[in-house]
Amino acid sequence: MTDLHPILPPEVASLQEALGLKFQDPSLLLTALKHPSVESASREEALAFKRLEFLGDAVWNFLVSRHLFLELKEAPQGELSLLKGHLSSATFLAKLAREIGLPKFLYLGKGEEQTGGRGKSSILSSAMEALIAALYLDRGLEAVSHVAQPHLEKVLMDQARREESLDPKSRLQILVQGRLKSLPAYHLTGRKGPPHHPSYEVEVLLQGKVLGKGTGKSLQEAEQKAAEEALRGFDA
């Protein structure tokens, strides 16, 4: 029987070793690696790349959503949306492409080679989406998950460390900016006690609505307590 699949060049075959997966249909991998800028690329090949890019975007968004849903069981929708936006961004996909060594395996046109195309996030993110689709079509969703899992877990661990190091006011600001594209405001509503031992009362508001209240021995402490209460409201 004649093998209809092309024989992969050695340098491209080594990408399979880096991924830890072997393609059943190597032509899918070749299509994902051949950027439309290649002079010899036919109209059909350019279209095939773009179609893979389209599918890869959808597959990746689903995979990221599933991973976040299963791993962050207590996270509110706002936090999940923030992380999903980061993990689905062109910046992150380009970073992922670099981490698996994808740039050196791409076929680019002379113009892109001369202008540093292998370092462009736009090209790398598109190629990463095409590769994701090729993996999905060849081996299924779990093959994509196999490649992505270590990178997604690292991001979540880094995020957890970062959140633990942030004070409530900073966490609230990040959450509100990501969800509502706005900033919380803190208003002093009361001050009690003698001058040498005062007690401050603060409200944190968003678009005129009170999110939380706090009391402290300093204005800063009261604001942090108000932010803590506001965060509990978001998580409820």
- Active-site residue list: 57, 129
Give the alpha-carbon dihedral of 73, 78, 81, 83, to 10 degrees: -70
State the Cα–Cα distance between residues 173 and 176, nearest whole angstrom: 5
The helices-and-strands tally (H runs, E runs) of the chain is 10, 3
Q: Give the integer Cα–Cα distance in Å for 188 and 177.
A: 22
* Torsion angle of the four alpha carbons 140, 141, 142, 148, in this order, in degrees rounded to the nearest 10: 130
Provide the token pair at 47. 């279209």
What Cα–Cα distance (Å) separates residue 233 from each residue in 3, 31, 72, 79, 165? 61, 49, 18, 13, 21
**How far, in Å, CA of 12 to CA of 153, rounded?**
27
CB-based contact 58:183 (threshold 8 Å): no
